[in-house]
Structure 1
Amino acid sequence: MSSYQTIHSHHSHHGWDNTLVPVKHVVPGEIVEFEVRDASGGQLTAKSDASAVPSLDFACINPVTGPLYVEGAEPGDAIAVEMLDFAGVGWGWTAIIPGFGLLAEEFSSPFLHISEYDDQRVRFVDGIELETAPFPGTVGLAPAAPGHHSVVPPRRVGGNLDLRDLTRGSTLYLPIEVPGGLLSVGDTHAAQGDGEVCGTAVETQFSVTVRIGLLKQANLPAPQCETTRSLRRSRRDDKGFYVTTGVGPDLMQASRDAIRAMIDHLGKHYGLAPEMAYALCSVAVDMRIGEIVDIPNWVVAAQLPKGIFL
């Protein structure tokens, strides 16, 4: 790979603000490495347990590395972020944080699970392995609105999108609202299911290498992306999938019902405790809308790849 600039992890911030001074300036076509801290901001270690979760300082959660100023980038344009490579640290964490997640009212006790991974697989627990599929959960630009804005919710200019599509070879397009765009990257994952239902994935530190592009006058309404990776999981798909559903007039309630049914299935058929089953849903189960046209009820599906069980 050609030479590139690096933005180190100590150049991090905890919210979007268009007055932040850029760490570096680049021209379109340049390659940049972002050293990304994990979503806890280093508060959790490979030796942490659930007792560390209630004491997390949420002011330090989800740090993002940057910002990067792209020369020539103006409001109405779009910045293209091509994912080239990822280098991780070999371990990650998945937590249930009280008050957070799809089933927050039902899982009110803190939970923390540590996984190990290499370039091919995440060893979740004995007998359960996931494909390692690194991506940054947060890639975003500064909004035009003045002031400090939380990094937690996604926005028109990107941010905490949690799109597992953004693996190697994919390109994310972000609409620009301020000169230079002010790009930052964070919240890197070793694996995640669509929906990230318990609120966390396999959270870990990665260095993310990207190529920066610029699309003049793109006028995108919201983030868009291209990916060469199928949304189906590539390993052990020949074992098939188990799907639970939620049916009703409210997509959020249907999503909760589908995950409750999957947690029940994982307990009955694989002996997983509810907390571990919920965490596994967050890192391996894909949520999707089955149909949203047959009034008055919609269908949400939760899809479990059976090949993760050895």
Structure 2
Amino acid sequence: MCLGDDPTCAAFAEHRLRYRRDMQPERRAFLKSGFVASGGAAALAAGGLSLVSPALAEVGKGARPSVHHHLPATAETVHWGYFSRSLTPQVEIASGDYVTIETLTHHANDDAERMVTGDPGAESVFLWTKERKGVARRGAGPDDAKLGPGGGLGVHICTGPVAIRDAEPGDVLEVRILDVAPRPSANPKFKGSTFGSNAAAWWGYHYGDMLEGKKREVITIYEVDASGDRDWAKAVYSFPWPGVTDPNGILHPTIDYPGLPVDHTKTTRTFDVLKGIRVPIRPHFGTMGLAPAEAERVNSIPPSYTGGNIDNWRIGKGATMYYPVAVPGALFSVGDPHASQGDSELCGTAIECSLTGTFQFILHKKRDLAGTSLEALDFPMIETKDEWVLSGFSYPNYLRDLGPDAQNTIFQKSSLDLAMRDAFRKMRSFLMHAKGLTEDEAISLMSIAVDFGVTQVVDGNWGVHAIVKKALFAERTA
């Protein structure tokens, strides 16, 4: 029987949708990996050490039963490379509603045979002929005579946006990640597998520090077990970037444009790569957030105060994100799905792998936030069952801080020193205002019990995260 992996089946689309929605026990290892945040929304919403107190949770409850929506990834439902306050919502929901959202990796064309072929949604998005593109890439920039519509910056395929009814600037949007599922290869040759690509690219932190000065871009394709019986990925093969001539006849000596279709008749593949190494799965969404207010179209690469390309592997199943709302409707989008990534995303990418997530959205109105832990939230914050994770950036709001040319300037201005300073200041504020510590107490606790880590050094606006364990406050009554 077709499980959504046989494109010759007359009911392929229906079976594929059912498979992605319903394959529960088959994903047990994938979803229960020890490297994935666990605990789920029930644990977070139960009061206790959650940022959302029982009283605030009660206020946030909808007056009607929650509705579950489904948002597929197609040429009609994605925007490529940008966030925008003016995008038409793909779906409008009420607080408390659920949405299952399909996401595609922008690196799928590194191996289209494994990640695009036979998949109607992916094929519509990656369509690129001499006559037209399915989706205009890099929507943050103007039309380009050679590259066509969207010739500026931005690389991530984002599904959405989702508009939240009654959301207004000053509110806080709580987004619970309830489920994360792999998107199986639709090519019958690779039934039961999911694939992802890791590009050691020119924007990677390593690139100017190669041994013997031999700069090169290398792609490694990884396989993930779509059934979920394996909670690890393995390398399939690697190849040096061969230089790609796109369907419009333009040569790309480097990976300088998203979604370039690699012709594997021109690659040299190494199959005996990373032999005997198992990479733990920690599926998450690298780019997830709301539309900023400061510009009409905002490059998807640098993260900022409304989220975006944070690239923190902790934004996976069981985690909850909190975002300050900047525009009416909030306009939530998600993309840049990863099967796994290490802190820093050193070479420029993770295992870029298409995933489907199920989310619940809870709107907290500004009028209800006074005196709560969310009252002064002006940055994206991660909550898991056991930890709070604060995101520090070189520039907390680079669109505001760097002036009219911010979207270009940010790539020359970032530093880990600035990001560390921002993470320190945010954690100090959190400990003082949300947990009631004095400044001296907060500084002492940060030095002895808070872990600061490098989130990423490749996204323009570099990131440092600060992790504080909830268990520290188990006996605190105020």
Task: Please say whether Structure 1 and Structure 2 have the same fold, judged by a TM-score greater than 0.5.
Answer: yes
Cα distance per residue 1:53-73 (max 9 Å; x no partner)? xxxx97372111000000121
Which of 182, 185, 209 is the equivalent residue of 1:106? 209
Tell me, in whole angstroms, the C-alpha distance in 1 between the residues paired with 2:176 and 2:283.
Answer: 14
Which of 257, 267, 289 is the equivalent residue of 1:140? 289
> Which protein has the larger Cα radius of gyration, Structure 1 or Structure 2?
2
Letter in 1 for 2:217: P
1:36 aligns with 2:103: yes
1:176-187 matched pairs, under 5 angstroms: 176-187=325-336
The number of equivalent residue pairs is 230
What are the ranges of 5 or more consecutive residues in structure 2 without an aligned counterpart? 1-21, 23-65, 115-135, 139-153, 185-193, 236-273, 367-374, 389-414, 418-450, 455-463, 465-478
Deviation at 1:20, TM superposition (A): 0.6
Tell me, in whole angstroms, the C-alpha distance in 2 between the residues paired with 1:209 and 1:80.
Answer: 14
Residues 286, 311 of structure 2: 8 Å contact kept: yes
In structure 1, the partner of 2:167 is: 73
Deviation at 1:219, TM superposition (A): 4.1
Letter in 1 for 2:72: H
Tell me, in whole angstroms, the C-alpha distance in 2 between the residues paired with 1:229 and 1:198.
Answer: 29
Tell me, in whole angstroms, the C-alpha distance in 2 between the residues paired with 1:61 and 1:229.
Answer: 33
Residues 46, 92 of structure 1: 8 Å contact kept: no
Tell me, in whole angstroms, the C-alpha distance in 2 between the residues paired with 1:145 and 1:287.
Answer: 29
Deviation at 1:229, TM superposition (A): 6.5
What are the ranges of 5 or more consecutive residues in structure 1 without an aligned counterpart? 49-56, 232-249, 253-285, 290-299, 301-310
Tell me, in whole angstroms, the C-alpha distance in 1 between the residues paired with 2:216 and 2:206.
Answer: 12
| SS of residue paired to 1:128 | coil
In structure 1, the partner of 2:319 is: 170
Deviation at 1:47, TM superposition (A): 5.5
In structure 1, the partner of 2:341 is: 192
Identity of aligned residues (%): 33
In structure 2, the partner of 1:276 is: none
Residues 139, 160 of structure 1: 8 Å contact kept: yes
Deviation at 1:39, TM superposition (A): 2.8
Letter in 2 for 1:16: F
Which of 168, 175, 197 is the equivalent residue of 1:93? 197
Tell me, in whole angstroms, the C-alpha distance in 1 between the residues paired with 2:416 and 2:294.
Answer: 30
Tell me, in whole angstroms, the C-alpha distance in 2 between the residues paired with 1:189 and 1:214.
Answer: 27
Q: CA RMSD in A?
A: 2.7
The 1:47–1:126 alpha-carbon spacing in structure 2 relative to 1, beyond 3 Å, is farther
Letter in 2 for 1:74: E
Deviation at 1:3, TM superposition (A): 6.6
Structure showing the higher strand proportion among its residues: 1
1:22 aligns with 2:179: no
Cα distance per residue 1:140-166 (max 9 Å; x no partner)? 111112321100000110000011111
* Larger RCO of the pair (alpha carbons < 8 Å, separation 6+): 1
Tell me, in whole angstroms, the C-alpha distance in 2 between the residues paired with 1:9 and 1:80.
Answer: 23
Letter in 1 for 2:197: W
1:130 aligns with 2:224: no
| SS of residue paired to 2:205 | coil
| SS of residue paired to 1:189 | strand
Cα distance per residue 1:94-141 (max 9 Å; x no partner)? 00122x011221353110001111231112332111221111001111
Residues 67, 97 of structure 2: 8 Å contact kept: no
